[in-house]
Structure 1
């Protein structure tokens, strides 16, 4: 009897695995991912079926429908924004036609505008001091979005700043990712809500993908009164200020923006807020001509018709003619991005990539190590940052373009996460980023192709095994 039940359960697992494999073949975004999932689901359903429920689905139709109707139905913020505060300039954004980045704008239905003032914020203390100061000056509304918020000292400072503004009559909207902030206790959120802060978790879950762990909202956005915006790599937790001894000092970069692009930050937040609440958050027109920089907000995600994040990197890399410096905590490029990097070397571009010397996620670190070796063989200069953990997501292109945002060079950013970045064209700002990255490279060691060859054989095997998990890294 017991053996019959075991046999029946085994048959059930295999049948379910076959149906799940059919789903994987139809819906997984890459052929490599489809092959990996279907192979495991057919031959090892006991091990792969449950993970597939959490990681495998690639569709969440409600969000896709909303996202693809955003321009026509919900988020014409430039047209629907209220009048700016008395004495502020009326928005007449100057569109900048830069052929290097125009394909990105057409893909994402956005544009590059001139007239921005940019502030480079190096590391957590500078970034959060600036963001908390901007929140303290809010008169109308505050829009806040983080992938991770912790109930610790920094999280408490953010909470208290938002509560203080809400008590002053300012509308405060807070989004945090339901999985990224899984450790955030209910009492933290309840205190915010009791104080008048509209705090909501982001989730793409509906009944058919209620087990889904993919499609996380990895964006970090702050908009204050429509005039001040912030975007970058930092989350709200003490480790981002260097409090984790295993990863300290924590190296990261954020960006402050004033000018027309703040409206596009608002729009990205508004889409996510509408998905969660069914309502649009407040909005005001940003100030115009705050500076000389041209900026374009690039918001990507798995609901886009194209694999927009991967295509964004591919086009940005292709735009480089002299220099391409990138810093990323995770280097697991797909074929298109890796090919673009190698072609840049053959064009004579100075391609350098900075990655951490210590892991925060072991499997990703191992896969990155193998890709770093293959990159050096192709002529890409790879560096490991040894003075702490580098989490920044920055790209410097030639002498005039700097990108700061939330995007990593891995499959999760390319195809599974909602991401955001600012592409900034301004020689003065690019020189600031160059100085910052030059200092970072000075605190790093260049990777030699022989480093891989010196590893024991079983260690090299482990690196290749780690790379098999590319589709979910």
Structure 2
């Protein structure tokens, strides 16, 4: 055998051993990476180092995890008591959700607050109009955390509002992710910095366009204003989010929360800011003022990421699906579930529960678009109903169970959101708001096309050929 070929074979064997014995990945993910090594020797391992390895991850996030625990304990004391959700109904279905709350309290330290009012936004115009108005009314601080803020029309308008508040003496801090930030020219932020605004970058690159940590991104979308009002959901800041790009009309879901849940989103922001910035912020009482919340919505803020031992948002999805007795409505642009979620959805549908999934009719990523349909095809025979949203691009990440509880946030239904990215969702335990989100889903059905076995058979041949390949590599997306 040629010495070079022999060396490549031996190296691949060593790489495969490291994946199986040292990385402790799930069997699906390990097999997917081993397949990559077989078909793309050497280059496959370079891809693995960039996208899949965990050698340094434990060390990388250990300090952050310790800081999370310490600070959350301090803030819990500062809030004086953990708000507890009381059963407002003798309905057994509602009481089951207390198990979800307890699980997340124990495993994620996800505190529940029960005095919140919520406004739901399904288009960018309404969301950003409300956001900019709230920023303009800020008196003490504005804390902003987005995956990205584009240097385009909407991004410029956003930064203009923030710069104005900074000039007025309001504390304004902006945290953005390092990967998309690399394409933003420094001049875009200069007026904001000159006005006294502060900016930090999560996992920045070593150089402007070189970022070796691009596999773990901060995908959260959080804004907290004066510790009393907060926004979270699926919208980033860019012209596409108000329908001004090639994907056309942008259908997303975001919530504005007034009440003590704003404290929990503020806590999330400060933890992330202190990890990303050298300008550390003390957990002062001013950031957690009395909100005077008079609403009736119980809200639990759940975060997950590679700094968490378990996939908390995925576990929340699983637990909520398993409590369903009537309906499970899912909206997501990326539907790449693992076997546990597939089994859970099949079991629910076969038990007579109305399971509906809505995905986009057009792709923003061809690979994921193909995988979406591959996994949908596996669920149809169990009675799951699936739809493509035809009136633009749907980017909403929502889950509604029985019209009683709902989840709105940044997490998609894929491996990247469950294990690799930093995500935050708001779980809303309130029939009125959950019912409204279910009605929004049902209204979206009027602009959707059902996916059926017959329609899948009519797809172009290349799509049919591409989907099995895309699915094979879905665990490493």
Match of 2:75 among 73, 78, 102: 78
- 1:401-455: per-residue Cα shift (whole Å, max 9, x none)? 1211011111111111111111111122122212211111111011111222233
Name the CA distance, whole Å, in 2 between partners of 1:11 and 1:285. Answer: 66
Matched-pair contact (CA < 8 Å) for 2:32–2:476: no
- Equivalent residue runs for 1:32-431 within 5 Å: 32-41=28-37, 44-58=40-54, 59-70=56-67, 72-76=69-73, 78=75, 94-96=83-85, 98-203=98-203, 211-244=212-245, 246-278=246-278, 279-280=280-281, 283-431=287-435
Q: Distance in 2 between matches of 1:43 and 1:440?
A: 42
Q: Say whether the 8 Å CA contact 1:24–1:56 is kept in structure 2.
A: no
Residues matched between the structures, number:
457
- Unaligned segments of structure 2, at least 5 residues: 87-97
Aligned CA-pair RMSD: 2.4
Calculate the TM-score normalised by the size of structure 1. 0.90
- The CA deviation at 1:167 is 0.8
Q: State how 1:22-33 maps to structure 2 within 5 Å.
A: 22-25=17-20, 26-27=22-23, 29-33=25-29
Partner Cα distance (1:359, 1:352) in 2: 20
Report Cα offsets for 1:23-56 as digits up to 9, x if no partner.
3322263222212223433563243133223212
SS in 1 for 2:299: strand
Unmatched segments (≥5 aa) in structure 1: 1-6, 82-89
The 8 Å contact of residues 14 and 42 in structure 1, kept in 2 or not, is answered as: no
Partner deviation per Cα, 1:186-209 (whole Å, 9 max, x = no partner): 222333322221111111889xx9
- Give how far 1:457 is off: 5.0
C-alpha displacement of 1:368: 0.3
* Cα distance in 2, alignment partners of residues 64 and 407 from structure 1: 20
Alpha-carbon separation, structure 2, partners of 1:311 and 1:410: 13
Residue 260 of structure 1 contacts residue 287 of structure 1 at CA under 8 Å; is this kept in 2?
yes
Q: Displacement of 1:112 after TM fit?
A: 2.1
Q: Secondary structure at the match of 1:180?
A: helix
User: Quick check: 425-434 or 65-74, which moved more?
Assistant: 65-74
Cα distance in 2 for partners of 1:109, 1:128 equals 30
Give secondary structure in 2 for the equivalent of 1:433. Answer: helix
TM-score (norm 2): 0.89
Change (3 A) 1:72 1:300: closer
TM-superposed CA distance for 1:111, in Å, is 2.6
Q: CA deviation at 1:210?
A: 6.5
CA–CA distance in structure 2, aligned partners of residues 155 and 24 of structure 1: 41
